[in-house]
Amino acid sequence: MADASPTPASVVAGSDAQIDSGYKYGATVVAGDVVYKDTTQSPPRWELAQADGTALEAGSAGLGIALNGGGDGQPGDVQVGGSITPGFTAVEGTIYVVSNGAGNMMPIADLLTATWYCSIVGVGTGTGDIKLRPYASGEQIPA
């Protein structure tokens, strides 16, 4: 499988959503992008997450899905927990992880085909949504 391709206008927070609205974006972000909170900047900013080690592992203090788009320096609403309609139909029981493409996610089975870092986004539910349970492990998966 390839990276998930969310439709930004279809990304919707669930009724149990935990949303972090206290920070700005540090890059151009669209709704549905996977982002991490970069604490190496002052103040911290939401940056595009990536599993190849170029972004996320150092200085990460959170992981989530952007609910709105914006440019560098614009305010970001990022869902960090709860149910989310990710802008694509998630497969029930599939674990979604940060992919090698900046801001993208993919099924964990695809992560296991390369030497990347494993950062879990969440698990697909029976309604096609994702139960968001972000976890940036900092651990590299050997190919």
| Model confidence pLDDT, tens digit, residues 34-87 | 999 988 888 999 999 988 876 665 446 689 999 999 999 999 999 999 999 999
In a domain, 4, yes or no: no
pTM: 0.92
In a domain, 142, yes or no: no
In a domain, 3, yes or no: no
How high is the mean pLDDT of the chain?
Answer: 89
Split into its structural domains, the chain has a count of 1
In a domain, 106, yes or no: yes
For residue 45, give its domain range: 11-137
The closest of 70, 81, 56 to 23, measured between CA atoms, is 70
First and final C-alpha spacing in the chain: 17
